[in-house]
Every structure is written in structure tokens, then in C-alpha cells.
């Protein structure tokens, strides 16, 4: 009887992704989650079987993360952090055409919640770690792998906990990769570019409060708290934030224009159309935003309440925080106060670094024609926590999707799935990146 063929990265990443999806790690927010401990322990078991020495750390009961350091060939080089979150947003099974936590493999895809956000990257991390052990080859430098809880809420129980309470795990780490970036986006002329995140907008979730005298609903109420707050919310909703082109976005547009052979006029009615898949990404990162998301007031139809509250979601481009909050206060006026529900400053790293070039080389190892450009994330990731301890963070969780693939519909949406071909491409890029030797500058020695 012939021996079974040796395992490959491609075999491992598919099996690991399907298995991870079968852990229901739904994060409902506000400290309410499930399954993170079980998933973290399973990851630790896989790493232990490879000969590594992972640790599982709980911030609160059940809120667990797994961290392991893999010794590199150059122990003096600055270390690298690779982070991925194990939690997912909830899925209402009745809305799906398959079990969201079944991890089913069908028609060349793996189906289930987290397939794209981000158990695909978790599987790549695990598969590459297993491949390094199988080949008995160290990475080019020390690599810290962190499989974390709670990214889909505030990160307090995951990356935030690790960065503040277990900083020793990241000794010597200067750079990190995490979600998102490294997948091709297709322009209007069919050309593909690979955006890699170098920065992300800050987050300001704020509770707004208006006060006024309580009274009977049948009487005039010129200082009605509900009306005062409503007028402020209308001002917020109607405000048109000015365009601000930060360096990462400028570099992205410059690279896109080179591919298109023409200038991109963002102020033209159809200026974004030439950007193809990148249109939404660029639109979210050329200005700040502030959106009302929650509203609450009163307890009875005939009682004028003394207080009305709302919650707004603000997203802030790097370098514009002072301008943003000054505008918020102007829009609110003197009769509405604000307080933070959650606040994380914008973060950013330069795209003109040896590290960015190393990421680009890993992408080109898979696609020699790849055009790799920086971009700014419109939302937020665990990079915000890790940047607070001096780590430069990049968004590189690669994959390859065909033109027109409904990526945006599946992430946080219904019937999430990932093509197996994308996993195969992504794991090869991550493997090439981790095996490569970093360029060490004189300042780092």
C-alpha cells in the first residue's frame, strides 16, 4: 500500500478554515459572546502539535486569545506580529441558505460565517506555522502569531487586553500585519491593483445628550429636549465633510492614474466610476464621516422628557482629529453635550518603507505583474490596539477573488463564503512573506 502524499499548505489551509468556521464564535457586543475560548484552545492544540509553545490568555471568562512566538533565523532582527481575530459577527440561521457554522465545502468554496472575516486569515496563519514546522525551517525573523478575541466589538477583551496586560509577548516587535489588504481590486479598464492598508480612520462613538424641563405633553415646550436633539442630528446628517487627501490616498490615486492612463477627478459626478472596485474604498477615505445610529427619549406619550440621547458613529482620517471635533461641537451647538462611548485615534504607517516593499515582494512572488499600492481603511481593526505599543501596522490578509466577486456583500452579510482558490493564493503569499529575511536599517541595529 503506497504512502499517503505529504500534506501541503493548500491542504492545511482548507481544512483549518473549515474547522475554524465550525466554532460559533459570535460576538454580540457589550461583553456578550460565545465560543472564543473553545476556538482559542483548538488553535493552541494545533500549534502545540507542531512543537510550538503557545499560551491561551483570558481577559474575562470565555474571552480567550492564543499567542505564540516562532523563533526566526535572525534573532537580532526586529520581530513581526501577525494577528487575526477568532470572533465573528452574529448570523441569523433562518436568513442563510446553509448552516452558517457548518464549515461546508461545496463547489470550490468554504461556506460559513467568518469565511472572509477573518477565519480565512486565521487558517493561513495556522497553515504557515504548520508548514514551517514540517519543513524544519524558521521564519526570517521572530514571528508572533496572535489569534485574538473581541475584534468585532471594541477589542477590549482581545487585542486591547493583550497590548495593555501582556506587552511582554510583543518584545522586540516593530511591525504587524492583520486585516485587511493584499487582494486584487479591478479598475474600470480591467487592470488589477493590490491595495495594502497602511493606515485607518479613527473611531469616535459618542453619546449625545440634550436636556430640558419635563412637562405635560399638552403644554407648549420651547425647550423640548427631543426637539433640541433632533435639530442637532439633522445638522449632523446634512453636513458635507470636506475632502481631505492624506498621503496614503494620494499615493493610491497616483498609482491608479498610472494604470488608467488618465487623471481621476473625484469632484466630477462620475469621478469614482473609473476606480472600479476601489470606488467605495476611496470614497470612504477622502473625508471624515459622522452618522447617527441610535436614538432614545421618553417613556410615555403625554410626558415631555427631560432628557433625550443619541449615539453617533464618527470616523476620522489621520491628521484631522482637531478639525473633526471642532466641527462636531459646532454642529451640536451649546445645548447638546457629547461623551465617548468608544474612542480610538487614527493610526498609520508609511508606505515608503522596507517593510511595505517586503509585503509587495511577497505578493509578486504569487503574481509577478502585481501593482501594489497603499490605502487607508475606512473602518477599524485591532491595529489600533497594537499601534499604542509602538508597532507599525499594515493591512495584509491576502486572497485572490475574480472580478465582480461579491466580497462586500458577504462580509458581515448573509451566505458568507470564500473560494478555495483564494485561500490557496493567500497562504502562498503569507508563507513567502514570513519566510523572507527582513531588511534591517542602521537605526534598528
Question: What pLDDT shows up at residue 438?
Answer: 80
Tell me the mean pLDDT in the region 364-368: 94
Query: For residue 6, is pLDDT > 90?
Result: no
Place of cell 495556522: 126
Question: Residue 118, Cα to own-chain centre: how many angstroms?
Answer: 9
By percentage, how much of the chain surpasses pLDDT 70?
A: 98
State the pLDDT confidence band at 1, using cuts at 50, 70 and 90: low
Cβ-based neighbour number of residue 173 at 10 Å:
23
pLDDT grade for 439, boundaries at 50, 70 and 90: low
Report how far residue 399's alpha carbon sits from residue 405's, in angstroms, rounded to the nearest whole number.
12
Segment 364-386 shows an average pLDDT of: 94
What is the C-alpha separation between 233 and 338, in angstroms, rounded? 12
Of the candidates 420, 409, 346, 411, which has an alpha carbon nearest to the alpha carbon of residue 383?
Answer: 346
Least confident segment among 40-44, 162-166, 224-228, 408-412? 408-412
- Cβ-based neighbours of 325, under 8 Å, separated by 6 or more: 204
Q: Is the pLDDT of residue 443 over 60?
A: no
Per-residue pLDDT tens digits for 274-290: 888 888 888 889 999 99
Amino acid at each position: 500500500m503506497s504512502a499517503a502524499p505529504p500534506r501541503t499548505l493548500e491542504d492545511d489551509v482548507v481544512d483549518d478554515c473549515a474547522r475554524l468556521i465550525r466554532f460559533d464564535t459570535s460576538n454580540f457586543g457589550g461583553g456578550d459572546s460565545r465560543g472564543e475560548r473553545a476556538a482559542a484552545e483548538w488553535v493552541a492544540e494545533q500549534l502545540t502539535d507542531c512543537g510550538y509553545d503557545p499560551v491561551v490568555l483570558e481577559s474575562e471568562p470565555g474571552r480567550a486569545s492564543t499567542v505564540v512566538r516562532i523563533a526566526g533565523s535572525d534573532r537580532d532582527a526586529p520581530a513581526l506580529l501577525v494577528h487575526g481575530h477568532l470572533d465573528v459577527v452574529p448570523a441569523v440561521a433562518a436568513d442563510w441558505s446553509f448552516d452558517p457554522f457548518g464549515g461546508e465545502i461545496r463547489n470550490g468554496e468554504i461556506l460559513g460565517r467568518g469565511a472572509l472575516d477573518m477565519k480565512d486569515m486565521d487558517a493561513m496563519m495556522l497553515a504557515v506555522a504548520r508548514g514551517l514546522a514540517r519543513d524544519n525551517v524558521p521564519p526570517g525573523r521572530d514571528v508572533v502569531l496572535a489569534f485574538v478575541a473581541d475584534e468585532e466589538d471594541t477589542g477590549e477583551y482581545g487585542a486591547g487586553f493583550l497590548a495593555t496586560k501582556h506587552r511582554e509577548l510583543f518584545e522586540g516587535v516593530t511591525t504587524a500585519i492583520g486585516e485587511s489588504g493584499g487582494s486584487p481590486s479591478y479598475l474600470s479598464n480591467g487592470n488589477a491593483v493590490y491595495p495594502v492598508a497602511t493606515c485607518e480612520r479613527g473611531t469616535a462613538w459618542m453619546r449625545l445628550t440634550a436636556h430640558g424641563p419635563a412637562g405635560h405633553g399638552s403644554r407648549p415646550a420651547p425647550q423640548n429636549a427631543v426637539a433640541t436633539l433632533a435639530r442637532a442630528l439633522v445638522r449632523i446628517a446634512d453636513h458635507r465633510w470636506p475632502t481631505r487627501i492624506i498621503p496614503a490616498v494620494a499615493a493610491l490615486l497616483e498609482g491608479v492614474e498610472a494604470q488608467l492612463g488618465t487623471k481621476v477627478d473625484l469632484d466630477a459626478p462620475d469621478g469614482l466610476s473609473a476606480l472600479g472596485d476601489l470606488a467605495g474604498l476611496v470614497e470612504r477615505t477622502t473625508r471624515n464621516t459622522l452618522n447617527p445610529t441610535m436614538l432614545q427619549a421618553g417613556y410615555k406619550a403625554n410626558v415631555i422628557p427631560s432628557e433625550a440621547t443619541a449615539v453617533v458613529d464618527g470616523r476620522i482620517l489621520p491628521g484631522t482629529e482637531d478639525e473633526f471635533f471642532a466641527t462636531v461641537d459646532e454642529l451640536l451647538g451649546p445645548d447638546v453635550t457629547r461623551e465617548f462611548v468608544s474612542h480610538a485615534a487614527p493610526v498609520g504607517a508609511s508606505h515608503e518603507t522596507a517593510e511595505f516593499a517586503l509585503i509587495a515582494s511577497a505578493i509578486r512572488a504569487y503574481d509577478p505583474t502585481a501593482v501594489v499600492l497603499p490605502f487607508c481603511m475606512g473602518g477599524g481593526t485591532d491595529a489600533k490596539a497594537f499601534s499604542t505599543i509602538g508597532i507599525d501596522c499594515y493591512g495584509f490578509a491576502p486572497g485572490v477573488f475574480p472580478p465582480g466577486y461579491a466580497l462586500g456583500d458577504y462580509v458581515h452579510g448573509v451566505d458568507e463564503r470564500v473560494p478555495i482558490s483564494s485561500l490557496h493564493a493567500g497562504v502562498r503569499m503569507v508563507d513567502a512573506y514570513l519566510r523572507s529575511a527582513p531588511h534591517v536599517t542602521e537605526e534598528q541595529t
